[in-house]
Amino acid sequence: MATLKFGVAPEGDCSILYETIERYMNTLRIVVWYVIHSRETTLFKVQKVLYEKLKRYGLPSYLSITAIKEGIEIAKSWLNNPKRGRYPILRKKHLTLHQRYSYKVDLKNFIAEILTINGRVRVKLLHDRKYVNKFKDWTPKGAKLLLRNGRLFLHVTFEKEVQEKSPRDYYALDINYREIVLSNGKEELRFKTMFNRAFHYYYLANKLQQKYGKGMKWRFNKRILNRIRYFYRKARDIIEYYTSLISTKIVNEITRKNATIVMENLRNLKFNVLNNVKKDWRLRLNLLAYRKLQHKIEYKLLWHGYKVHYVDPRNTSSICPKCNSKLINNGYRRLKCIKCGFEADRDTIACLNILKKFNSMWGVLGSTPTAPDPDETPMGMKGKLTRGSTFKFNIPKSTYP
């Protein structure tokens, strides 16, 4: 799946769309309130109690049922959370839509029809035509009409089946704060990161909050609050731009070689190490968008028919890939094995260990990867997957390449 984000330009008065969204949100809030207080999460029973009462909002039947389903899911997620916070307020205004029943999209003419309280309304879609042409043979699924700062946006999810390809080679990817390393044991590619630039703005925002932290003064001074928001927005935009740019470069390089990527499963890395590092590095870890970068690389590779593989990250940078002995520091970012004498950059060692773990799991590299001698170029490691199947994209809905 992939999500396209369109701007919306209504043909005529757009007040009917605003009114539909407002009524949908009111319906959604009532459903959430009822489910939380009654603890009733069965669709049939909730619909039986609320459907007639919700008719006064004038929503079409299908939109009312959609609001009931969505409200139940929101309430269930809140009820099932052991660390539940405050009651869900639902400030972000939107309208959930389903293909054919409550909306239709025509990518050829850049037009969409949206179900409203006064029937279907035609709207123009705003997007780069060249980019949208890539999705002409994709199947539209669910969509959301969002109201943000008085403007309307339509996020449409598309789905397509592709044939899985068998890669000719495997590259290990090691993500660090200042550098990203891609290696197959024979050649090595390095990409500089922009996380440090994002950290600069993140640090400025934190300093302002500390300076005016007494009594939370920064919350009540509009100029200071806007400045803090500006710094956070700059840091977020840098990370978003960089992860999109570098993931595209990596995928283009990998697909040109008919290869795929093996990465570390870094899930919950921040939560596992935040208590063991200094405050300055805790801030930096918050900006190390490793999961965002991994997700973008994964779904862009899926576009080309290649699956990404994950391995356990434990000890990838602390044991020797040659003899599995403990490594010691031997200079800036260099590690050395006392037992066999192997020495290399810690990123190179991490990539070799990632490939070694992957081979032990799947056995597709032909033989167990062996670490090179300190002064030699790493050996190449190649292999093929024997299976081929059809699979669907599983792309995060909040991003697109």
Q: What is the amino acid identity at position 154?
A: L
Tens digits of residue pLDDT in 71-123: 999 999 999 988 777 888 898 999 999 998 999 999 988 999 999 999 899 99
Tens digits of residue pLDDT in 144-195: 999 988 889 999 998 888 788 888 889 998 888 788 888 888 888 888 888 8
Angle in degrees, CA 103, 109, 112, rounded to 5: 15
Tens digits of residue pLDDT in 282-337: 667 767 778 888 888 998 898 888 988 998 888 888 888 888 888 888 777 788 88
Q: What is the pTM of this model?
A: 0.70
Identify the CA nearest to 90 among candidates 22, 15, 3, 19.
Answer: 22
Tokens of 120: 């279907």
Q: In the chain, what are the domain boundaries?
A: 2-159, 169-192+251-279+289-392
Beta sheet of 179-183, edge-to-edge order: 188-192, 179-183, 169-175, 259-264, 309-311
Rounded distance between C-alpha atoms, residue 34 and residue 71, angstroms: 9
For position 400, what pLDDT does the model report?
Answer: 29
Angle in degrees, CA 67, 72, 77, rounded to 5: 130
Residues pairing with 169 in the sheet: 259, 382
What is the chain's percent helix, strand, coil content, to nearest 5?
Answer: 45, 25, 35
189 in Cβ contact with 181 (< 8 Å): yes
Identify the CA nearest to 154 among candidates 330, 6, 50.
Answer: 6
Three-class DSSP labels, 219-272: HCCHHHHHHHHHHHHHHHHHHHHHHHHHHHHHHHHHHHCCEEEEEECCCCHHHH
